[in-house]
C-alpha cells in the first residue's frame, strides 16, 4: 500500500523566513515517483517537482529546494526567503513507477502555509 | 496555466440527483484521472482512463462512473448524489507513454449537494 504523511497541518511564518515542509512516504515498490504540488485558493493543483526513486540528488529551483532521502523515506521541501505569494496549501504525492499500472497519485493531507508581512 | 479545463466551475445539486462533470485534457495527453478533494483533505483518486478504457479505480462506489472520448476529453458522472459527495472534483491529464509525464490538473469543479 502507498501512503504519504504530512504531519504539519499548518505553518505560519513572517516574510523572508525560511520554511521546510515535511513529507514522509511508505511504499513497497522499488521504482516510484515523488511529487510536490501547490494549491492556491483558486483550487488548481500546480505542479512543482517530480523526483524518481533512483535519483537522490537534491534539487534547487530559485527559492525552492527539495531534499530526498530514501534512508528515511522523506522528501522535504524548503522555501528560502518566503514571500506572501507562497501562501497556499502544499501537497506531497507518490506514484508507482511500474509500467502498465494506473499512474494514480497518492496524496498527503497537505500543509497550509501562511506567510505574513 | 495548464491546458486542462473543467466545467462547470461550481454546481449545486439536490440529494438524489445525478451530475455530469466535464474535463478537457491537455493536448497530447492520453490519460485522464479524476480526484475528489473534500474540504481540508488531500485529493483522493476516483479512477483513471487510458485510451477510452478505465484503467484503475479507487475506493469509490459504482455510482461514480466515467467516460473518455476519442479526443481524450472525459466525463465524471455521479448518480444518486449524497451530501458527502460535496467536494472539489479535480481532473488531471498526463501522457502515459514513454515520456510518462507528470499529471497536470484543471481548476476543479466545486460540487455542493444540499
Output the DSSP codes for A47-95: EEEEEETT----EEETTEEEEEEGGGTEEEEEESS--GGG-EEEEEEEE
- In the stretch 12-71 of chain B, residues with CB closer than 8 A to chain A read 31, 33, 35, 40-45, 48, 50, 55-56, 58
More confident residue, B78 or A43: B78
Query: Both ends of chain B: CA-CA distance in Å?
Result: 32
- What pLDDT shows up at residue B100? 65
Residues of A in contact with B44 (CB under 8 A): 107
The arithmetic mean of pLDDT across residues A15-41, rounded, is 95
In chain A, which residues have their Cβ closer than 8 Å to the Cβ of B103? 47, 103, 105
> Which residue of B45, B94, B105 is in closest CB contact with A45?
B105
Q: How far is A14 from chain B (nearest CA, A)?
A: 23
Res. A102 pLDDT band, cuts 50 70 90 = low
Please compute Rg for chain A using Cα positions: 14
Please state, as a whole number, how many other Cβ atoms lie within 10 Å of the Cβ of residue B35: 26
Tell whether the model's pLDDT for residue A38 goes beyond 90: yes
The stretch A36-41 carries a mean pLDDT of 94
Q: Which range has highest mean pLDDT (A57-61, A97-101, B19-23)?
A: B19-23
Chain A residues in contact with B97 by the CB 8 A cut-off are none
| Across A12-20, average pLDDT | 97
Cell of B20: 455530469
> Does the pLDDT value for residue A13 go beyond 90?
yes
Quickly state the pLDDT bin for A1 (edges 50, 70, 90): confident
Asked whether B76 and B85 are in contact (CB, 8 A), the reply is no
Amino acid at each position: 500500500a502507498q501512503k504519504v504523511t504530512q504531519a504539519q497541518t499548518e505553518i505560519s511564518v513572517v516574510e523572508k523566513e525560511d520554511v521546510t515542509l515535511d513529507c514522509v512516504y511508505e511504499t513497497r515498490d522499488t521504482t516510484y515517483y515523488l511529487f510536490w504540488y501547490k494549491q492556491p485558493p483558486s483550487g488548481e493543483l500546480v505542479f512543482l517537482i517530480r523526483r524518481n526513486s533512483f535519483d537522490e540528488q537534491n534539487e534547487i529551483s530559485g527559492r525552492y529546494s527539495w531534499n530526498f532521502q530514501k534512508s528515511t523515506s522523506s522528501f522535504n521541501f524548503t522555501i528560502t526567503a518566503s514571500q506572501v505569494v507562497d501562501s497556499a496549501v502544499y501537497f506531497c504525492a507518490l506514484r508507482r513507477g511500474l509500467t502498465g499500472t494506473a499512474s494514480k497519485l497518492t496524496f498527503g493531507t497537505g500543509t497550509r502555509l501562511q506567510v505574513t508581512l | 496555466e495548464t491546458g486542462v479545463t473543467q466545467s462547470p466551475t461550481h454546481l449545486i445539486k439536490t440529494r438524489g440527483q445525478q451530475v455530469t462533470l466535464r474535463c478537457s485534457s491537455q493536448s497530447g495527453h492520453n490519460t485522464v484521472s479524476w480526484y475528489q478533494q473534500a474540504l481540508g483533505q488531500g485529493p483522493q483518486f476516483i479512477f483513471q482512463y487510458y485510451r477510452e478504457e478505465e484503467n484503475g479505480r479507487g475506493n469509490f462506489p459504482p455510482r461514480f462512473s466515467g467516460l473518455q472520448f476519442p479526443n481524450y476529453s472525459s466525463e465524471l458522472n455521479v448518480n444518486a448524489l449524497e451530501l458527502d459527495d460535496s467536494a472539489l472534483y479535480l481532473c488531471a491529464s498526463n501522457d502515459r507513454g514513454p515520456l510518462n509525464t507528470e499529471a497536470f490538473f484543471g481548476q476543479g469543479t466545486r460540487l455542493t449537494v444540499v
